Structure 1
């Protein structure tokens, strides 16, 4: 088992965690203001496509990140105004956004670059790996943590920032109040609509970073539907974490390691049809176990002896 868990495996797991973690943070923010965001998959896909377009057009990874952020914020306007101003059903809107993102990115890929499936070009500049001299020479730890992109560090910094803001500041108190009891928040003078719109758009910017990490972090390419269910895994992480950023982050760590294990198992000779389902099986098992535990807490008779 120790031979199986290598620094390369952990490094791969950290890379796999980053886009899921960023998307889960966005979902947590939306959940706190009473908006159930199931469009993380589509938002991530839009961010990944825009990141490649921005990097290709500007010749800079920073340009790709900026394009991903702006495009995803613009795409998030559908959810922000659809739920608040037009009083639409969040689930229906999010499903439509996911379908739109899949079709739109595939269409734009053909129209802008004349290719289908996968687009790669030497002009696409990926994110550089940060090597920290202070820990670079440490065994294992230096190899793992000094070879990550800036967005990986940003993701974990955002976990701390979101946690502090959410539970230690007046702004966080208002956000939680909007989600828990919107009518009571309005009586206290809080503009519920504005808080929800701004929060959804900020969350969209964070998902844009997830998309940029996905397409520019490890391989500088864009493939149709390359989010490959990571947005849905982030939704599950939000549900498991019950809209708490720290608990959602722990769930993302579990899913990230499951993803890395699946890649390692494929390297051991198992068919990819088997290894590809490992992260999703782990996700379903975690969701079932958590749901069962909650039911037992709510109804003690479930665990009672016959």
Structure 2
């Protein structure tokens, strides 16, 4: 406003024609953004003292691994001078999501962390189509529900909002898990949490949830001998090897995405061989450390006797006894090394 007024006064005094394009400074926002991105000081140039520092950083390009590590870095925004030790310490909930080893020395130790190798941050998807789908599958909307008619009905939450209730939560939960991973229905990053004690079914589709992939264990197979085994079979591995040599020559972007959905890792997710779980859904899962644990549990259930341990290898990992009260595993770790970061 002030610049336009000054330019207008100058034009009147010098008897020149007023030009609005010369009066308005078009580069104000552009120059401000350029300054902020170049220096990392997020705020006005004149108020540099009150601006936020380190918002933008120069990407580390020393080596390929250092670039990947820098892109997967997280920062805890608390003072480096604080004497509180708790935020710096490793926590058991970091398993598989945050690297337990890769953190700098000195003041930033434990506050600057790195995501694990397989860790993935959800992009998010709209929740409205899921509410429509749930309504079609027998969910009673909250506005129409009479609490006296079914006091043991399960509450359904979508992104933290109570949207309705359902009288057959087991069937609904199984149905949602069946369609998850199919891009036409539910994308793989949607979390479905069934809390039986609280009688709640929570569905999360929001962005920013840290997730990790796990092998799925069969528990509803038609073949009795396959129950408790990994869904992953030899034919999946053979197809993975064959997919490396597939040439993709798409006509347009949509065709390319459709081809990629049916190749490699994406096909494993689509075929329910692998599932992405976030921290909240992981609490409702029973995860085996290795496929050997699945074999050991099956042996224990069939014979009521633990498997004989191989004592020939003195350096073998010491494993605790299998708990006989475990009824089944739902998932299995891809590899224990996946808890580590890129540079660990």
TM range (shorter): under 0.3
Higher helix residue share: 1
Structure-2-length-normalised TM-score: 0.20
Flag the structure with more relative contact order, 1 or 2, with Cα contacts below 8 A and sequence separation at least 6: 1
Report the structure, 1 or 2, having the larger strand content: 2
TM-score (norm 1): 0.22
Structure ID, larger Rg: 2
